Structure 1
């Protein structure tokens, strides 16, 4: 069994980080296997949403410091990482954000350091009551990476982000919900049911409109209002030409639920 476990059911690809003995840290083959699964799901029209969770007591603990300390991290890619201005983790973040299908992090335990950066790149985060979050970098004499200095201020505001970065303190699930870091907190044993219920509802949506909606939300983070209005109208014209729109209109006129499974 590899460092990621992948299963697809009802239009939802579930990816489980499977390094529980290392708290699912970003080492071994985890990133390579995650990227392979994500690329497979992106190319498969049957996959309409992703749920990512972790085995054991962690969602993702960031860098594998035990491997880094022993000189064993990314042994086969040191030269590439040295010359690549983004690095393997950075390219994974771009791969995740560039996916046209909604992504949900089902945070079962700790998400710290680069793991929190990774988690912050998802569209939606649902947390178990056992989840905990920390930037932690400052406590290891490191600066932020994995895009966390970009994501966190946008999620919780610059002042709260500054406090988390400067102190490295741990934030529990309840506080994470109050500050907007996660959208929902559920009992631990209900986490995957809640995440899968949400993902299946998303999967049962008009696929083209979902793609354009996700693109619009991501584009809005760097666009001016005028640029966003133009972006929205280009997308809307594409939606109006898509066959899903005709089904939406017919179902409205016929007073029935639309059937998106045909697209």
Structure 2
């Protein structure tokens, strides 16, 4: 079930989705964006699915966007990132995440759309947008504030610093920290406890929880897309990427 880059497994009324590019630390390329979009759309439409668990194969959750995936698309072809992000953001059933290891950029901001996040002890998160001369995405400019408060969110975005599992727990980014070997089983057990209830009720509860956030999420998507269009390919962004590939500190003007 699923594709090579996104494994899907049905466990009762819980659907486990596993990012499956472990050799690339589950960096998200075009096929994985498309697979995520299709998987969340299908899970939303399937009444046999009451809850989804999202995890990563190997020792990392996701290193974020695979930079190579932005080099081969035709100029007039929409990149699948936007539709994938919106499919996750609009998912109308409980979503539980079980990250361990690194979660960077889009590999971190997807977690802000999970209803509950259980992290492994090795979890390390970074929002590197400022360091790349870019802006937040996945409506994270709103979602992180909504989850942990404006000052804490601003500090993480402006500094682009790493935070470990203990700091993520303190901030409220994750609900609990468990040993790496236990985190997925724990998430699946909690998801099964959720999935015992009627799908109709779970949908309505999520709708009531998210209803007042929806206008702000949409505004964030629009604002981030416009800002990203201004920043992507800018002198600062190109310097950041060049420095990254040359393994040196960037020299911003």
TM-score range, shorter chain: 0.7 to 0.9
Q: Which has the higher contact order (CA 8 A, sep 6+)?
A: 2
1:67-82 counterparts in 2 under 5 A?
67=68, 73=70, 75-76=72-73, 78-81=75-78
Secondary structure at the residue paired with 1:79? coil
Residue from 108, 130, 136 that aligns with 2:128: 136
Secondary structure at the residue paired with 2:76? helix
Asked if residue 213 in structure 1 is aligned to residue 210 in structure 2, the reply is no
Q: Distance in 1 between matches of 2:61 and 2:116?
A: 14
Q: CA RMSD in A?
A: 1.7
Please say which structure displays the higher CA radius of gyration: 1
> Partner of 2:161 in structure 1?
169
Please say if residues 11 and 47 of structure 1, whose CA atoms lie closer than 8 Å, have aligned partners that are also in contact. Answer: yes
The gaps in structure 2 that reach 5 residues or longer are: 216-253
Please say if residues 5 and 18 of structure 1, whose CA atoms lie closer than 8 Å, have aligned partners that are also in contact. Answer: yes
Secondary structure at the residue paired with 1:221? helix
1:1-263 counterparts in 2 under 5 A?
2-65=4-67, 67=68, 73=70, 75-76=72-73, 78-81=75-78, 88-221=80-213
How far 1:179 moved relative to its partner?
0.7
Secondary structure at the residue paired with 2:103? strand
Q: Distance in 2 between matches of 1:6 and 1:106?
A: 15
Please say if residues 25 and 59 of structure 2, whose CA atoms lie closer than 8 Å, have aligned partners that are also in contact. Answer: yes
Q: Distance in 2 between matches of 1:77 and 1:6?
A: 29
Please say if residues 50 and 202 of structure 2, whose CA atoms lie closer than 8 Å, have aligned partners that are also in contact. Answer: no
Residues matched between the structures, number: 213
Closer/same/farther in 2, CA of residues 107 and 214 from structure 1, 3 Å limit:
same
Please say if residues 93 and 121 of structure 1, whose CA atoms lie closer than 8 Å, have aligned partners that are also in contact. Answer: no
Report Cα offsets for 1:100-137 as digits up to 9, x if no partner. Answer: 21111111221111221112112111100111111111
TM-score, normalised relative to structure 2 = 0.79
Report Cα offsets for 1:168-220 as digits up to 9, x if no partner. Answer: 11011111011111111111110111100011011101222111100000013
Secondary structure at the residue paired with 2:61? strand
Closer/same/farther in 2, CA of residues 17 and 222 from structure 1, 3 Å limit:
closer
Q: Distance in 2 between matches of 1:130 and 1:3?
A: 23
Secondary structure at the residue paired with 1:213? helix
Q: Distance in 1 between matches of 2:29 and 2:209?
A: 31
Q: Distance in 1 between matches of 2:113 and 2:75?
A: 24
